[in-house]
Homo-oligomer: A and B are copies of this chain.
Amino acid sequence: MIVVKVGGSLGIDYDAIAENVAELWQNGKKLILVHGGSAETNRIAEKLGKPPKFVTSPSGYTSRFTDKETMEIFEMVYCGKMNKGIVERLQKLNVNAVGLSGLDGRIFEGKHKDKVRSVENGKIKILRGDHTGKVEKINTHLINLLLDNGYLPVLTPPAASYKGVAINVDGDRAAAALAIALKADSLLLLSNVPGLLRTFPDESSLIKSIPAKEVESYLEFAKDRMKKKVLGAAEAVAGGVGRVIFADARSKNPLTKALAGEGTVVA
């Protein structure tokens, strides 16, 4: 089993991903796709007059402040435009894809965090009304039902809280939790960089491999959204996933290349 997470940053070639997924799937590989939609959500939110608001936690992690209206925009882009765009690409290639959010069948479940701590001008502020959380539970029943019947699941945040409320969760860490729950051999975290870079954004400084036990010590090299990928990788390998590969999704055959070890391999 391979879990493939495709980010939502600019530059990602979704046509290339769909073609490569179709090729692997039609050759009998079991796989699941998880995707993001961050850049497009920002663009649509701006156009709708509700610009995105990001908060930085005291420990340096950045996340989207997701009030109710932002959640609706988030769902429009992630579950609507991005998810159905990927499903359509796969259906055109004769892959019987089924697109679902973490709300559907409660595939992704976790606690709802209503409050978030935000560092603003050096001071810590508490913001309320947030709809975020972290995936703590994967409901594998529905996923296995689909896989066992020949459907390829295409999954996206939001997740469901234990009370059924839509919550924004980090897609990389959701994919890590999914890979653990499904005992995946490989978790591919594809984005618009070649992998973890020692000196971002110098692509020649690519770190080619990271020993599983040392992942967290590499956090210092991770900038912004890459931090959560490194955290997700640490969680995945600690949870029994064979290997995690950070790789590039800006050119042809991104999955095949990543599976061949192109990128940063955590094992």
Contact = CB atoms under 8 A, between A and B. Distances in A.
Interface of A: 44, 47-49, 72, 75-81, 83-85, 87-88, 90-94, 96-101, 103-106, 141-142, 145, 149, 151, 158, 160, 163-166
Tell me the dominant secondary structure on chain A's binding face: helix
Contact of A104 (B47, B76, B98, B103): B98
B49 A88 contact: no
Given A96-B106, A98-B104, A84 B88 contact: no
Nearest to A91: B164
A44 B85 CA distance: 18
A229 B121 CA distance: 57
Given A47-B49, A93-B164, A163-B92, A103 B84 contact: yes
Nearest to A149: B145
Nearest to A101: B84
Contacts of A100: 98-100, 104
Nearest to A163: B92
A165 B92 contact: yes
Contacts of A47: 47-49
A91 B103 contact: yes
A49 B105 CA distance: 35
B88 A98 contact: no
Complex A-B, nearest 4 residue pairs according to Cβ-Cβ distance, in ascending order? A80-B80, A91-B164, A76-B80, A76-B76
Nearest to A87: B103
A166 to B, nearest CB: 5
A97 B49 CA distance: 31
B142 A88 contact: no
Nearest to A92: B164
Given A85-B72, A165-B88, A166-B88, A104 B99 contact: yes
